A and B are shown apart, each in its own frame.
Chain A
Amino acid sequence: MTTLDQAKIRKMLLAFVLGALGGGGAMAAFLWLGFEPGWRVEQVAVGGVGVVYLVTGLFTLGGALMPGMGARVLNVADREELVEMRNMLVGSSVSAIALGIMLLALVGSGPGGAVPDIVVIAAVGLSLLTIGVIGVKQWRLYDELWRQLSWESSAFAMSILLPILLIWSVAVHLGWLSAMDPLLVIAVAAASMLVGAFIAAGRRGMLAPR
């Protein structure tokens, strides 16, 4: 095993430990909070996906703003790569954080919920606006690989989401299942986007340790 391989393994382990501590800690805190008021499954699902977006966004944003530290954890060749990608990474991170906040705001909303409707509407509106504006700006920063990745991750997300919604809807139509809760639809859609992005990145070798 070369020194480079050892360095890659060390970096992967560090990223894994930090991810487990940060992500696992945030998820545990969310679930601990959730058990108290007795949230429903769909609330836990949408909040769980929200936590993943939030933590991923915060980690990436931290790495992009502190490239020296970020290069030790994020899957990049070196510090300079993070500096080169800063604008793009900051945009993606802020979008992920906005989506995470939106999903978390939805958890405590609805009839009898602690979060007022106006707060949820503001959170959803602001998040969608942020994601839309950043999406347009990001597209201009993307080179051809990133644009291809963007198309592919959307296609994978749709390939995951559509069968779930279609099959569930057919089952509801036949009277075998009850209609899917709107929060669960949102959770499944957001999770599909996440999984789609991972599949697309993996296929292009971007999850291989660097």
Chain B
Amino acid sequence: MSLDLFIPPPPSNVGGFGRRTGAALEAVGAATSLAWACCRALRRGRDYLPLAYAQVWDIGIASLPLVLLVAMISGAVTSEQTGYQYTSTLPPWIVGSVITASVLTELGPLSTGLVLVGRVGARFGAELGAMSVTEQIQALRTVGRDPVVYLVLPRVLGALVAVPALVALADAGGMLAGWAVALIRVPITTSEFAVGARAYFRPFILYLSLIKGAVFGVSIAFIACAAGLRATGGAAGVGRATTMSVVVATVVMMISDLLLTRLLRVFG
């Protein structure tokens, strides 16, 4: 038997732009009603809080090594580049400012978000997608359990708690790696680095970093759950839901990053 038989056909272009727009609007409508269902289900804490606790552990602890690794490499690369580019024309302490600015405002939250899109978003999309196509979601309804309470809210709330904590640790890891590389490569003293860091740092920047983490976490978990719950059509449907989770969550994360950074300019 030829392996070609197992390659799904390319998506049909019949209907083109109109069909795709209709499908996108339908997905937005479904996501809106899912968000409303989540709000209504919030009062049932007794049902979802124990499950949310398990998700905090799963999202937070299990993602920590990869999140720290990526944040530290980002901080180290920024330090290396800043040292190379600026220190011949500017005072060395500027490296501390640049690393504080870039890690806290962008690299910490964004690298954490991108890691979690791949690690958590794809998994949620695939898990719920597989449950949808094997009728497990419908089975949950027939035994009187609301999928929003038992599947969606624990994941979204787990991400809401775990991701800001991960971002805080990523910020610390990125700063630490940036400082270590600056000491070796620029070169700069610890007190010069601290002067530069203090010159830029304000508590609002740290809050914004954590707020970004919360927004990214909720977006990733919610979008992945919404895509998974709408999956149809067997293994190909699960694949589409997973891809959709990653693509849409990445785009939404980037747009919200832009908007939140704009907030920094207005209020910071």
Whether A and B are associated in the same complex: the answer reads no
